[in-house]
Amino acid sequence: MYLGGFIVAWLGMRSRAKKPWSPIKPEQVDDVVFYCALGAIIGGRIGYMLVYGTQELLADPRSIYRVWQGGMSFHGGLAGVLVAMAIYGRYIGKPFFVMTDFIAPWAPAGLMLGRIGNFINGELWGKPTDSMWGVVYHGEARHPSQLYEAFLEGLVLFLIVWVYTRKPRPTMAASGVFLLGYGVFRTVVEFVRVPDLQLGYLALGWLTMGQILSVPLIVAGLVLLWLAYRSGSIAPAHGSTPSAPTPKRAH
C-alpha cells in the first residue's frame, strides 16, 4: 500500500509539475518522492514507537527495526515528511511551504491506500455496531473505521485539496487545507474507532491519542490559511526569475 501511494504521488506530481505555474520542475519530482518516502517510513516508524510502543521500545530498543510486525504512525510519518521537505527544499533553494504545498494534494492517496491496508490486515477496528454496514470481526459486527478513514481522509480529502490546487494559491494555503481537513476527519472517525489497547481512552471515556494529536493539526491548518490569504504571495513558477523591485519616485 505504501508503494501504491508513492506511485500515485509520483504520477500526480509529474502531471502537476508540467503546469506553467508550478514552482517545481518535472525533473525534480523523482527526488521529491524519494525524500518523501524516506521521511514517511522512518518518521512513521519512529513516531509509532515513541507514542504507541514506548514500553516495547524500552524493553527492546531493537524492536524499532521490526517493521514487518506492524506499527506505523501517520503523525510520525507527517513529521518525517516535513523534515525531508525542509532538507530537500533547502538543497534546491525552495522555501519550506512551497515544498509542502506541492506535495499536499497527493498525500491523501497514500492515506486512503494505507487505511485499506489496515482493513485487509484486520487491525484498527471500530466499536461494535448493529448498523447494516457493520463488518463481522471475531464474531462481532463492528464499524469498519478503517474504511471510514479511507473515504474521508483519503478520497474526500484528496478531492478537496486536488480541486483547490488546480490553480495557483497563496503559499501555505494548500498545506493549511490538508492539515485542517485531515485533523477534522481523523477526530470525527476516532469517536467510532477503538483506541490502541496499550493506551485506551485518555480522558472523559472517549478522548483518544489520535484526537489529541489531531487538534494541533487543525489549529495549524487554520493558522496557515489565515497567514496565506493575509500575505497573498504565490510561489513563482520554476521557469521564472524574480523581478527587480520597481524604484519609487521621489516626491
Taking residue 200's Cβ as centre, other Cβ atoms within 10 Å add up to 11
Question: Range with the lowest mean pLDDT among 34-48, 54-68, 114-128, 235-249?
Answer: 235-249
Q: Is the pLDDT of residue 247 over 60?
A: no
Q: Is the pLDDT of residue 57 over 80?
A: no
On whether residue 212 sits in a domain, the answer given is: yes
- Which positions ≥6 away from 53 have C-beta within 8 Å? 63, 71, 198
On whether residue 236 sits in a domain, the answer given is: no
On whether residue 143 sits in a domain, the answer given is: yes
pLDDT of 240 reads 59
Q: Is the pLDDT of residue 102 over 90?
A: yes
On whether residue 98 sits in a domain, the answer given is: yes
Cα angle vertex 160, ends 78, 103, to 5°? 35
- Whether the full predicted model's pTM is greater than 0.75, yes or no, is yes
pLDDT of 202 reads 76
pLDDT of 239 reads 59
pLDDT in tens, 174-190: 999 999 999 999 999 99
Q: Is the pLDDT of residue 235 over 80?
A: no
On whether residue 130 sits in a domain, the answer given is: yes
Mean pLDDT over 110-133 rounds to 92
Cell numbers describing residue 30: 523523482
Is the CB of residue 152 less than 8 Å from the CB of residue 189? yes
Q: Is the pLDDT of residue 150 over 80?
A: yes
On whether residue 33 sits in a domain, the answer given is: yes
On whether residue 26 sits in a domain, the answer given is: yes
| 101/23 Cα distance (integer angstroms) | 10
pLDDT in tens, 195-217: 877 677 777 777 888 899 899 99
Amino acid at 156: V
Q: Give me the domain span that covers residue 74.
A: 2-231
Mean pLDDT over 33-53 rounds to 87
- Tally the domains of the chain: 1
Question: Range with the lowest mean pLDDT among 22-36, 51-65, 98-112?
Answer: 51-65
On whether residue 39 sits in a domain, the answer given is: yes
Cell numbers describing residue 232: 497573498
Mean pLDDT over 58-87 rounds to 83
Amino acid at 236: P
Per-residue confidence at 246, pLDDT binned at 50, 70, 90? very low
pLDDT of 245 reads 46
Q: Is the pLDDT of residue 133 over 60?
A: yes
Mean pLDDT over 126-155 rounds to 94
- Which carries the bigger pLDDT value, residue 147 or residue 139? 147
